[in-house]
Amino acid sequence: QVHVVQSGAEVKKPGASLKVSCNASGYTFTDYGFSWVRQAPGQGLEWMGWISIFYGDTNYARKFQGRVTLTRDTSTGTVNMELRSLRSDDTAVYYCARESPLAGYPFEYWGQGTPVTVSS
Protein backbone atom coordinates (compact mmCIF):
# COMPACT_ATOMS: atom_id res chain seq x y z
CA GLN A 1 0.00 0.00 0.00
CA VAL A 2 1.37 3.37 -1.04
CA HIS A 3 1.91 5.96 1.69
CA VAL A 4 2.99 9.54 1.12
CA VAL A 5 3.69 11.55 4.27
CA GLN A 6 4.82 15.16 4.37
CA SER A 7 6.69 17.16 6.99
CA GLY A 8 4.82 19.42 9.37
CA ALA A 9 3.53 22.97 9.29
CA GLU A 10 5.96 25.86 8.93
CA VAL A 11 5.97 29.55 9.82
CA LYS A 12 8.54 31.67 8.01
CA LYS A 13 9.51 35.31 7.74
CA PRO A 14 9.63 37.13 4.40
CA GLY A 15 12.94 36.60 2.65
CA ALA A 16 13.60 33.27 4.35
CA SER A 17 13.85 29.86 2.70
CA LEU A 18 11.45 26.95 3.07
CA LYS A 19 12.11 23.22 2.84
CA VAL A 20 9.26 20.72 2.80
CA SER A 21 9.86 16.97 2.70
CA CYS A 22 7.74 14.12 1.46
CA ASN A 23 8.42 10.49 2.37
CA ALA A 24 7.00 7.73 0.20
CA SER A 25 6.73 4.02 0.90
CA GLY A 26 4.92 0.88 -0.22
CA TYR A 27 6.42 0.65 -3.71
CA THR A 28 9.75 0.90 -5.52
CA PHE A 29 10.67 4.54 -4.91
CA THR A 30 12.61 5.04 -8.13
CA ASP A 31 9.72 3.91 -10.34
CA TYR A 32 7.65 7.12 -10.32
CA GLY A 33 8.21 10.85 -10.40
CA PHE A 34 6.77 13.45 -8.07
CA SER A 35 5.22 16.85 -8.58
CA TRP A 36 4.71 19.64 -6.06
CA VAL A 37 1.43 21.54 -6.04
CA ARG A 38 0.41 24.42 -3.81
CA GLN A 39 -2.89 25.98 -2.85
CA ALA A 40 -3.17 29.47 -1.40
CA PRO A 41 -6.04 30.10 1.04
CA GLY A 42 -9.36 29.95 -0.80
CA GLN A 43 -7.61 29.56 -4.15
CA GLY A 44 -7.06 26.82 -6.72
CA LEU A 45 -4.28 24.33 -7.30
CA GLU A 46 -0.98 25.55 -8.71
CA TRP A 47 1.61 23.18 -10.19
CA MET A 48 5.16 24.11 -9.16
CA GLY A 49 7.44 21.48 -10.63
CA TRP A 50 8.32 17.83 -11.17
CA ILE A 51 11.26 15.56 -10.41
CA SER A 52 12.17 12.20 -11.89
CA ILE A 53 13.11 10.00 -8.98
CA PHE A 54 15.19 7.65 -11.13
CA TYR A 55 17.26 10.26 -12.98
CA GLY A 56 16.85 13.33 -10.79
CA ASP A 57 15.74 15.43 -13.79
CA THR A 58 13.50 18.38 -12.97
CA ASN A 59 10.99 20.68 -14.67
CA TYR A 60 9.74 23.87 -13.04
CA ALA A 61 6.81 26.14 -13.74
CA ARG A 62 8.05 29.42 -15.19
CA LYS A 63 6.61 31.32 -12.24
CA PHE A 64 8.95 29.48 -9.84
CA GLN A 65 11.99 29.05 -12.06
CA GLY A 66 15.09 30.21 -10.16
CA ARG A 67 13.34 30.22 -6.78
CA VAL A 68 12.45 26.54 -6.31
CA THR A 69 14.61 23.43 -6.23
CA LEU A 70 13.37 19.83 -6.08
CA THR A 71 15.66 17.06 -4.88
CA ARG A 72 15.33 13.43 -3.90
CA ASP A 73 17.13 11.01 -1.63
CA THR A 74 16.73 7.47 -2.91
CA SER A 75 18.27 5.99 0.24
CA THR A 76 15.46 7.32 2.42
CA GLY A 77 12.57 7.49 -0.08
CA THR A 78 12.29 11.26 0.37
CA VAL A 79 11.52 14.09 -2.00
CA ASN A 80 12.30 17.66 -0.97
CA MET A 81 11.04 21.03 -2.13
CA GLU A 82 13.03 24.17 -1.33
CA LEU A 83 11.52 27.60 -2.00
CA ARG A 84 13.69 30.67 -1.49
CA SER A 85 13.09 34.40 -0.99
CA LEU A 86 9.68 33.81 0.56
CA ARG A 87 6.95 36.43 0.26
CA SER A 88 3.60 36.74 1.98
CA ASP A 89 1.85 35.42 -1.12
CA ASP A 90 3.75 32.13 -0.72
CA THR A 91 1.41 31.40 2.19
CA ALA A 92 -0.29 28.19 1.09
CA VAL A 93 -0.73 24.49 1.63
CA TYR A 94 2.02 22.64 -0.22
CA TYR A 95 1.35 19.13 -1.53
CA CYS A 96 3.60 16.50 -3.02
CA ALA A 97 1.91 14.16 -5.48
CA ARG A 98 3.19 10.91 -6.96
CA GLU A 99 2.53 10.20 -10.60
CA SER A 100 1.05 6.92 -11.75
CA PRO A 101 1.77 4.69 -14.76
CA LEU A 102 -1.44 5.77 -16.44
CA ALA A 103 -2.03 7.89 -19.55
CA GLY A 104 -0.56 11.30 -18.84
CA TYR A 105 1.02 10.17 -15.56
CA PRO A 106 -1.71 11.71 -13.37
CA PHE A 107 -1.29 12.36 -9.67
CA GLU A 108 -2.83 9.34 -8.01
CA TYR A 109 -1.20 9.57 -4.57
CA TRP A 110 -0.98 12.79 -2.59
CA GLY A 111 0.63 13.77 0.66
CA GLN A 112 -1.55 15.23 3.39
CA GLY A 113 -0.37 18.76 2.68
CA THR A 114 1.98 21.05 4.61
CA PRO A 115 0.56 24.43 5.67
CA VAL A 116 3.07 27.23 5.32
CA THR A 117 2.57 30.73 6.68
CA VAL A 118 4.86 33.58 5.62
CA SER A 119 4.50 36.56 7.90
CA SER A 120 6.67 39.16 9.57
Interaction site with other proteins (CB under 8 A): 35, 37, 44-47, 50, 59, 61-62, 95, 97, 100, 102-108, 110-113
Q: Between 75 and 103, whose beta carbon lies closer to other proteins?
A: 103
Q: Between 15 and 108, whose beta carbon lies closer to other proteins?
A: 108
What secondary structure, in 3-state letters, does 65-116 show? Answer: CCCEEEEEECCCCEEEEEECCCCHHHCEEEEEEEECCCCCCCEEEECCCEEE
Q: Between 11 and 45, whose beta carbon lies closer to other proteins?
A: 45
Residue 62, classed as helix, strand or coil, is coil
CB of 60: closest distance to other proteins in angstroms?
8
CB of 87: closest distance to other proteins in angstroms?
21
Residue 30, classed as helix, strand or coil, is helix
Give the largest CA-CA distance in the chain. Answer: 44
Q: Between 47 and 54, whose beta carbon lies closer to other proteins?
A: 47
CB of 37: closest distance to other proteins in angstroms?
8
CB of 13: closest distance to other proteins in angstroms?
26
CA-to-CA distance for 114 and 58, rounded, in angstroms? 21
